[in-house]
Structure 1
């Protein structure tokens, strides 16, 4: 080993290297916390709009006769003429999308969505030869189209869980959650028990900043309405 190269013990004991590492970790934590906060702020609105667009788009195709799923729908609900049922289903889906895009009608949209969803899985029972290449794991394209509705159901549950918040009925636990999360992050990063009492000035400033930004966001939303 060259004499100019520091030993492992010397490197581990270098206070400057430790300080640089701690500073880099703190910067990463701040950036990560901000990114997470923005994702938390934007995630549900983006999810709601995305759901609305998907339903309006897919439903609109059924209304104008351009849906690739029309044949599958017609084969599943064969007791009703396809030229009648498919456009009606399309209108239903467009209504779901419009309700999801208009916040006061989210409850209606979620209700219409969950009334429709069981029907989307009927081909699994009535037309398994169309859904599966090999039952039960190998899906056809049509089968994948159907199974992806599980994601839509999950997304609808998430959006539906926010309707009381959209009505301004969030409880005190919901209102304080961002502050609590920020304090907990600081506790884990710092490892100092006193931070649990939020005595550290940096933690208080971070918490106050979150409260201010959330309050400003509420004011902006109220102004839009």
Structure 2
């Protein structure tokens, strides 16, 4: 016979622990995965341009360079130059070195990639009812690369993802925190502060609410502040 807990699936506290662990992983790794992904895309599509006929954007690159340079750069040379720049960007983004220069070059490169939207709108939106053609869709998806580049640029000055434990929902019914002794409360608070753990995860492990943990942290800090405050000098 299966009990009610088994039929209902994992308990809320266990789900909260899993959710907190996944959240910590995403905060710690998402920007790195984003950088690797953008680098891999540039490296792959850049390498295709070295081989005539393999890149679906080859003809579009030639025409864009003709328009931007007033036909000063020969078509094949423009494709090879673009391939070299994209491969270099890909390698730099994958390696994580010289990111400031890479992000600056990425911005210039993306402006060139999106230039056909202004230069050749009739060609890119020549489908039924002005729907984008295959080339148009190829260019439009680069808006995602533009957004990714903006995120990477934000990290150059120390920007990063941070955890926001105060947005978590309570994971256990209220009232259980009253059974904790002072020493037990202190141990819970130290777990949350000293180990830099997510408050939701700590609360779930002890079957209390995140608000209980926050309240205990505030009480500890308030007591520590009062203890460490300098004594008042007597009036003379």
1:215 corresponding residue in structure 2: none
Structure whose alpha-carbon radius of gyration is higher: 2
Partner of residue 124, structure 1: 117
C-alpha contact (below 8 Å) 1:49/1:101 kept by paired residues: yes
- What SS does the aligned partner of 1:68 have? coil
| Change in 2 beyond 3 A, CA 1:144/1:125 | same
- Secondary structure at the aligned position of 1:35 is classed as helix
* 135 and 163 in structure 1: CA distance in 2 versus 1, 3 angstrom threshold: farther
Q: 1:161 aligns with which of 134, 145, 154?
A: 154
Count of aligned positions: 182
Following TM superposition, by how much is the alpha carbon of 1:33 offset from its aligned partner in structure 2, in angstroms?
A: 1.0
> Structure 1 residues 132, 73: CA separation in 2 closer, same or farther (over 3 Å shift)?
same
The CA deviation at 1:183 is 5.5
| Residue 205 in structure 1 maps to residue 191 in structure 2 | yes
Q: Which residue is 1:37 aligned to? A: 24
Partner residue of 1:71?
Answer: 59
Give the aligned CA root-mean-square deviation in angstroms: 3.4
Q: Is the 8 A contact 1:60 1:94 kept in 2?
A: yes
Q: Give the drift of 1:137.
A: 6.3
Give the Cα–Cα distance (whole angstroms) in 2 for the partners of residues 121 and 136 of structure 1. Answer: 22
How has the CA–CA distance of structure 1 residues 137 and 154 changed in structure 2, closer, same or farther, with 3 Å as cutoff?
A: farther
Query: For 1:182, which of 147, 165, 172 is the aligned residue?
Result: 165
Q: Is the 8 A contact 1:53 1:97 kept in 2?
A: yes
Q: CA deviation at 1:190?
A: 5.4
Deviation at 1:120, TM superposition (A): 1.3
State whether residues 113 and 139 of structure 2, in contact with CA within 8 Å, keep that contact through their aligned partners in structure 1: yes
**Structure 2, unaligned stretches of length 5 or more?**
178-184, 198-236
TM-score between both structures, scaled by the size of structure 2: 0.64
TM-score by length of 1: 0.67
Deviation per residue, 1:26-59 (Å, 9 max, x gap): 1111111111111221111111011111111111
SS of 2:56's equivalent in the other structure is: coil
Alpha-carbon deviations, 1:86-141, whole Å to 9, x = none? 10011111121122123231111110010111111222222223211359862111
1:191 positional shift: 7.9
Cα shift at 1:163: 2.5
